[in-house]
């Protein structure tokens, strides 16, 4: 990010006072205020639901359905550009899509940046600055290494990364909402009996280092979810999907945030597969029923673009 862009971000955010979510109707607040709005959504009366988007069109659909924020899916973006998941996509390609999504919607956007695109805290600080430059106000940071012999980063290194995000965001006056994730359950690290304590140890440390929310994907047992909510005493993000408790059930357990990850994108690909198989085998088109019309999509992509105050 150039010095001119940094000065512009500071100037815009210093001129505004914290605002409520109502500002999103009719005008676009600067990033600082969007970050404040997004953070507040983690402690509201309703659970924060995030059907993750992978491009501008999917983000607009999510916004049009009335969701108060849009989260990106790193896997969905990678798949859509021809890459496998796991930081195989370039940082430049990833943030080009994040920027398109942030430009396409008026609600706050949070970006999934995998493990931060670099093993050093300085790399993650640069990633945090790239998130802000792209127009997003939050980020997911995971502790997976991609190395099967050592699947999770050392806690001490992960804490340095979290602090680096906080410092980078403070320098630009955009208080990024940091969702710190551990993959203890997702990667099935250690013996099953040890996973709860290890996940709690990691997430508690992430919370204390400055994470606003913590994320534990692949935990589906309701009793265990309720237990970790009580032990953590901070906003918890659960990955929703088949086999997971429903959003109302998770809210009763004290969960603050439910995201769907790459599930919506993969479900869309499943629809495309069924459509293609139908056309090939029967020559019919029933799978396309219920799709938005061409006119609806044109209107959706033309409407309400970055209305300025």
Quote the pLDDT of residue 215. Answer: 98
Quote the pLDDT of residue 30. Answer: 85
Q: Where are the domains of the chain?
A: 3-302
Quote the pLDDT of residue 303. Answer: 78
pLDDT band for position 24 (cuts 50, 70, 90): very low
- The pTM of the whole model exceeds 0.75: yes
Quote the pLDDT of residue 29. Answer: 64
Query: Which range is least confidently modeled, 21-35, 50-64, 118-132, 227-241?
Result: 21-35
Q: Tell me how many degrees the CA angle 56-266-268 measures, rounded to the nearest 5.
A: 65
Looking only at the bridges linking them, the beta strands covering 109-112 and 138-142 are parallel
pLDDT band for position 3 (cuts 50, 70, 90): low
The answer on pLDDT for 5 being more than 90 is no
| Three-state DSSP class for residue 163 | helix
- Selection from 10-24, 25-39, 119-133 with the highest mean pLDDT: 119-133
The rounded mean pLDDT for the chain is: 92
What is the average pLDDT across 9-30? 48
Alpha helical stretches, state H, the chain: 3-14, 31-40, 56-64, 74-80, 91-104, 121-133, 155-171, 192-209, 222-232, 247-253, 263-282, 294-302
Could you report the per-residue pLDDT of 232-263, keeping only the tens digit for each? 999 999 999 999 999 999 999 999 999 999 99
Quote the pLDDT of residue 23. Answer: 38
Could you report the per-residue pLDDT of 142-193, keeping only the tens digit for each? 999 999 999 999 999 999 999 999 999 999 999 999 999 999 999 999 999 9
The answer on pLDDT for 2 being more than 80 is no
Q: Tell me how many degrees the CA angle 81-161-178 measures, rounded to the nearest 5.
A: 70
Residue listed under structure tokens 């939050």 = 138
Report the CATH number of the 3-302 domain.
3.20.20.60
């Amino acid at each position: 990010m150039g010095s001119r862009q940094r000065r512009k971000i500071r100037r815009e955010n210093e001129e505004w006072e914290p605002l409520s979510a109502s500002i999103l109707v009719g005008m676009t607040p600067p990033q600082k205020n969007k970050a404040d709005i997004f953070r507040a959504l983690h402690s509201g009366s309703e659970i924060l639901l995030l059907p993750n988007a992978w491009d501008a069109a999917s983000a607009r659909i999510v916004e049009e359905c009335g969701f108060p924020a849009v989260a990106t899916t790193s896997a969905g973006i990678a798949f859509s550009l021809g890459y496998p998941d796991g930081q195989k996509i370039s940082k430049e390609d990833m943030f080009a899509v994040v920027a398109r999504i942030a430009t396409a919607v008026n609600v706050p956007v949070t970006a999934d940046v995998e493990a931060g695109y670099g093993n050093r805290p300085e790399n993650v600080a640069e990633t945090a600055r790239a998130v802000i430059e792209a127009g997003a106000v939050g980020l997911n940071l995971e502790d997976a290494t991609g190395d099967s012999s050592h699947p999770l980063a050392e806690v001490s290194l992960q804490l340095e990364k979290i602090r680096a995000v906080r410092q980078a965001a403070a320098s630009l006056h955009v208080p990024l909402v940091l969702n710190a994730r551990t993959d203890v359950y997702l990667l099935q690290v250690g013996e099953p009996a040890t996973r709860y304590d290890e996940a709690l140890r990691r997430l508690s440390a992430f919370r204390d280092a400055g994470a606003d929310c913590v994320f534990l994907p692949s935990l589906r047992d309701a009793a265990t979810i309720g237990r970790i909510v009580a032990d953590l005493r901070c906003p918890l993000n659960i990955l929703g999907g088949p086999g997971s408790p429903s959003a109302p059930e998770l809210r009763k357990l004290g969960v603050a945030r439910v995201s769907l990850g790459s599930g919506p994108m993969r479900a869309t690909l499943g629809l495309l597969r069924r459509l293609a198989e139908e056309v090939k085998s029967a020559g019919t088109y029933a799978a396309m029923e219920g799709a938005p019309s061409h006119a609806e999509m044109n209107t959706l992509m033309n409407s309400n673009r970055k209305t300025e105050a």
